[in-house]
Structure 1
Amino acid sequence: MMRLLCTIMAMSFCLLAGLAAWADDTELPHRLIEVPVDHFDDQSGTFDLYVEFAEPFDPNKPTVFFLADGQQFFIRQGSMARHRDRLFSDDMNVVGIVGRGVPDAYPDLAAMVGDDIATADWEMAWTLYRSAQWIEDIETVRRSLMGAQGKVILFGRSGGGALVHEYAAKYGEYVSRAFTAAPALSSMANYTRLPFDRFWAEVEDIAPDAHERFRTLMNDPDIDRHELAVAFQRQNFFVTPDERDAERLRLLTTYEKRDAEMLAEMLTAYQVPQMAAFDAAPISIPSRVRLMEFRLPHVEKWRVEDDKLNPDIENILLSSAPVHDAFLGDVPVAEFSLTPLHELKETQVYILAGAHDHVVDYRGSIALAASYPSSAIFIADDGHTFPAMVDDGSYRDILVAFLMHGLGSEELQQAEAAAALHHYGG
């Protein structure tokens, strides 16, 4: 179960194959909602956005939108009933928007960008797939389902969690409650002056000479630097916090020994070959756009360093490189601002953070929670995908209690008390 959740909830690249077949005549409860191809160009035309429900929509139930961003593909046709059963409650409408970046769902949009990474129109990709478009898609769906003034509940994790807060910064007056797990807003590293990638500092703990050993590897012409970075970045999704140091040392030693059989086994376990296949396929284009957005707040600082390995940063740099290069580094977008969040007095926000999360520093999540007038944060002694809390059900219990009953409710207090063993430091 934990390995499955790690695969599903990993920060990005969740879908490598097996997208559900697209069929207009499906009997699944859904609606097709017309949205502009480009919300910022009145002449761009429209297409039908596929919106699926876990069961037929009931206007008398509270409605939660389960949001995914451009690097997440777990919300697709036929998935919402399963997500409802695993995460939510029968007492709410669970709504999933199949995002505009899913190529099988929207082939006409994909054709506007191209089906080859080497020749793709990256400026068009930025136009169609940047988060500003996804935010307007969400808003169009909200108005269609809830009415002009209707309020919605939001849930998202990692990049989808970041999208929740990005939507709230523009349309928060229509959000009654929002729950995010490990929201990956890279801007928080700048606001809080926290390091985005802590790998180089942490590996000092695995061996006294770890830095020297890594530098030797990085200077070896037979070692693929990109593969090395991907391997150590992906490893984080598949090991628990208490396994992390030992597994990092084992992977480092395996590279040093040139143990091809063991290395292949470990790389396969961490989905490194699958990641290479994903990066080579056009399905990765929306993900690369999203990672460019994560890169933007740090565009003047992040570099691949000759004498230091920063796996999270290097993967973002390499994946977003085509978008960056298309604009010669001058991508026209404003950095996410916390200021609008200060005014959302009627929006309740709950953030679940992992003390051992390598993607999202929990201290940044504390600052994010503090930006809302009405918020709470639970810091778990766990990692990015919260495997321990998922396995014993406390993740779902806290989520449902908050979504259904809100901050200060007896139900939420009981769920938090039952999850106390997972609380960091306590």
Structure 2
Amino acid sequence: MERHNLLYRLYDEFDAETLREYQSLVDLFPPVDSRVALEHWEDAGEELERLKREIREALPAGATFAEVAAYADREAAFTALDLHARYDRAVNALVLDVDETLRSAGGTDNEIPRETLHMLTELHDAGVPVVICTGQTLENVKGFMIQGLGNEIVHSGNFSIVYESGNGVFTPGHGSHTKRLLYEDLDEPVRGTFDAVRSRVLPDAPENVRRGCHLQGNEFNVTLKPNFETGGADAEVVIDDGLVHLIGLLGEVIVDRVSDGLDVGDIDLAARGAAWARAHYAAADPEIGEVIEATAVDDPAEAGEIPEPVAALFDRIDVGYYHADAAEITSLELDKVAGVEAALDVLDVRDPFLLVMGDSKSDLRVMEWVAEHEAGIAAAPEHASADVLSHVLDRDELVFARGQSATMLRTVYVLNLLARVE
């Protein structure tokens, strides 16, 4: 109750909004090579210190509440306090998706906003490990994180990248554990299937897919990306066609690998494998089913007729569909949860209470794992998938606007500040 009373006093008695504006100016707009800019920045710093001093001198634990006012508006501060009252824990690691979460093509020119990068730096400097958890390749993620956060943070030993949706984990500064190739632990039927699909996916593709897509440079996953602007009409058409091709090829490869164990009579086994794959993945994901149905495939199959050896391999391989963005296959044994667990092990986070931020089905699995183990909280952008939003709204209602990922990071920063107050 004392914290609530102090927060009411903080936002009722002090000019927290002006304080926060000065903090943002000092943090985000450092002085450039200009005497006028330098003087303006120095004046802002002096005014910021004056406003903080007023709070420090007036309130119990005033230094902490001055920092609260500097980084959160009233709504965010009370949200943070409610989270602490509910869980009685500070967040001790961040697990963060990148695309359409930390950054958004619709609102931030596909760059991580400066404010988000700054809050990541503040949390990292406060001792909170950062785990970037993404479907992208390691080299791509490592490059833009070094560019955004700096080499010192990325190589601090308290920063990890779970890449390709959990197939590998990169945690610089940890010797032999720096890079863990989790996909190497998969058995030959799965690894061999991925190798065969990768070698055939473009050479065997219809002409529009072969010309309109490229393979993302993954170590393990097989991901088709459009040669057109992501989200555009051309990308939508070619990714939909690419998805149907990828699923059909996966079926062909799998029946070829298990053909000795099949008793299906005199049929075109490759064509039947493609039909079985379409039936299996359409039943597993309604969105994929809609794409397959729209292609008017003339050799339908029923999921219930798939032979057990074929279905067993289908059950180990996931197909991902990202509208007008990508089509891919991944291992269900190596999802983002597996990658996060490996990253936390390397970072020595033994009793995790995580902030998980994401927008897609792969992120939802991490959120559900966290909920099941009472190991943190989940947040999502307002444009996240329906299943993700449903989960987040049912838990703590931590939904933020497009391009405003820093808002959630500020809330967690304040949650950790308030956790210090006796």
* Larger relative helix fraction: 2
TM-score w.r.t. length of structure 2: 0.28
TM-score by length of 1: 0.28
Between Structure 1 and Structure 2, whose CA radius of gyration is higher?
2
